[in-house]
Amino acid sequence: METSNGNTTVMDMFEKGKVMKICAPMVRYSKLAFRSLVRKYSCDICFTPMIVAADFLRSVKARDSEFTTNESDRPLIVQFAAHDAQSLADAACVVAPFSDGVDLNCGCPQRWAMSAGYGACLINKPELVKDMVRHVRNQVDNPNYTASIKIRIHKDLRQTVDLCQKAESAGVSWITVHGRTAEERHQPVHYEAIKTIKDSVSIPVIANGDIKYLRDVETIHQLTGVDGVMAARGLLSNPAMFTGYEDTPLECVWDWVDIAIEQGTQFTCFHHHLIYMLERVSSQPERKVFNSLSSTSAVIDYLENTYGTVKTIG
């Protein structure tokens, strides 16, 4: 499959030996406009927000609202929540012409997802995960289309290694490991666990969890030997993080304004992203004023009056 790199497939990108920099699936946030922004700032691969496969297949409205893309939005991985192999494979077939791979969410720890049989509860069902990967592999008519999984770890790491090896045997393309258990939230990431998983399989492994600066990419690569890193909150706070900026540069703020207006981003989403981007570079009184703004024109006036046009904040 052609990507934005010409004829390079996602798996070719891993083989080039550089540590891949990836934008995580983020509910409400990793949509087309934000993906367009981080791609300008050295992000190699982007994920859509998690989409529930059954709803996606059932409703045209869900498909239109949950999945939007364009020609420059590549390489793109579409992440699905599913608990049966056929739904995942069917959803993969729908998005395959417009993306480079699908990812099965086996890491979401939220109660609603777990109770519905989605997300992190799947790490305890290795045979089902294996079947789901195999179905995607067999039914998407493109040998370069990837089928990956994103997982959390078990308290007993042997179970996680078993899951990963089973997924590898089914043909999984790569595995993203969030180095926390389903019960952990803000505890330190278990990088040694990610290293153990990386050492136990021969496919690419991506590390996820607490990546906030470009220097973290190399540190985690050295600690674990992973093939890439995936950032979520770090990119929300600073979409230019992978380029090496410590905080969001003003150029990036204005790029977001341009992209969001061009793509018709809803005000709430437009504003929330700016709240994240400006958090580390603004004072509490400034944040209080900015957070209370209620229109795009008010936001633009505020940015021009407070920061000026394109130059680095601070």
Which residue positions form the known binding site?
A: 25-27, 79, 178, 232-233
CA distances from 259 to 35, 37, 209 (A): 10, 7, 27
How many Cβ atoms are within 10 Å of 290's Cβ, its own excluded?
19
Cβ-based neighbour number of residue 233 at 10 Å: 15
Q: Which of 263, 266, 273, 265 is nearest to 237 (CA)?
A: 273
8-state DSSP, 3: B
Number of helices followed by number of strands (H, E) in the chain? 15, 9
DSSP letters, 178-216, are: ESS-TT-SSSPP-HHHHHHHHHH-SS-EEEES---SHHH
Quote the distance between the C-alpha of residue 1 and its chain's center: 20
Q: Active-site positions?
A: 108
User: Residue 37 class from Cβ within 10 Å (0-12 exposed, 13-18 middle, 19+ buried)?
Assistant: buried
**Would you list which residues are annotated within the binding site for FMN?**
25-27, 79, 178, 232-233
